[in-house]
Structure 1
Amino acid sequence: MKKVAMLLAILAATGAAQAADDTDDPAQGYIANLCSVVTQEKTVESTDSYIAKLKALDARGQSPSAQQKPEFDEDEARTVIAAWLNLSDDQKNEASQSQQACQNATLDEYQSQD
């Protein structure tokens, strides 16, 4: 029983730390959501189309009963999308093959924009 309680405590702490990371850096969440869209659709779309899809994903990811609902930061989302669109065609083709490759490439480009 103690092992189960310890495991639950570790899982809760991990979840809380991950949630705190997502709150501190909304770009990470936008990159993950954008890469979900990109790896499913396999075509490059317009910024406005990506914004609409990210807003929809953001809204679906929030619990209706949540006390604090973070607002969608369109400026930050546009910066993330710009990072994706700045990738070369070869980079986009490679990145669209896997979620992790997409996140790595987009994050690298995003960070180079600073």
Structure 2
Amino acid sequence: MGEEKRDPPPDAVIVAPLTMNSVNKWAAGIADTYALGLLTEAVGPGLPVVALPFWSTALDAHPATRRSVRVLRDLGVRVLYRPGAWEPHAPGTGGEQVDGYPWGLALRAVGEVVKGRRS
């Protein structure tokens, strides 16, 4: 049998938009989908991971959400959740926020992380 061809390993990973459901599963180590399995594995070898959330203030009020953000940060994930980066939107306004979703924040953050590792 021939060898399985594999893509080269990534320099970094961007997780966006990160939902409340995914942040809680990821922080708990639940890898019940292929995507969550990749994210769970990515933090083990120290691969740079940048996460840009997208959830409402109602979901943000649940203690599990903030706890999960802390867990991921403790694992070395750069979660772009703070004033001036990303903040939760009002319930029911997610559709209005899509066009203004700050993709550039995640791209800049991962660029900084990768550049820092190469220096």
Normalised by the length of structure 2, the TM-score is 0.30
More helix by share: 1
Larger Cα Rg: Structure 1 or Structure 2?
1
